[in-house]
Amino acid sequence: MKLPEYTNAATAGKFNTFLFVGLSLLWGHMLDLISPWWLPLTIFSFIVSFGSEVQANKKKDLLL
Instruction: Determine the residue type at 33.
Output: L
pTM for the model stands at 0.64
State how far the Cα of 26 lies from the Cα of 5, in Å rounded to an integer: 30
Backbone phi and psi for residue 32, each to the nearest 5 degrees, phi listed first? 60, 40
Kindly tell me if the per-residue pLDDT of 8 is higher than 90: no
pLDDT tens digits for range 9-41: 655 667 788 889 999 999 999 999 999 999 999
Nearest to 49 by CA among 16, 13, 3, 11: 16
Residues in Cβ contact with 26 at an 8 Å cutoff, skipping those fewer than 6 apart: 42
Domain ranges (residues) in the chain: 17-55
Q: How confident is the model at residue 2 (pLDDT cuts 50, 70, 90)?
A: low
Rounded to a whole number, what is the distance in angstroms from the first to the last CA of the chain?
29
Q: Is the pLDDT of residue 56 over 80?
A: no
Asked whether the predicted pLDDT for residue 1 surpasses 70, the reply is: no
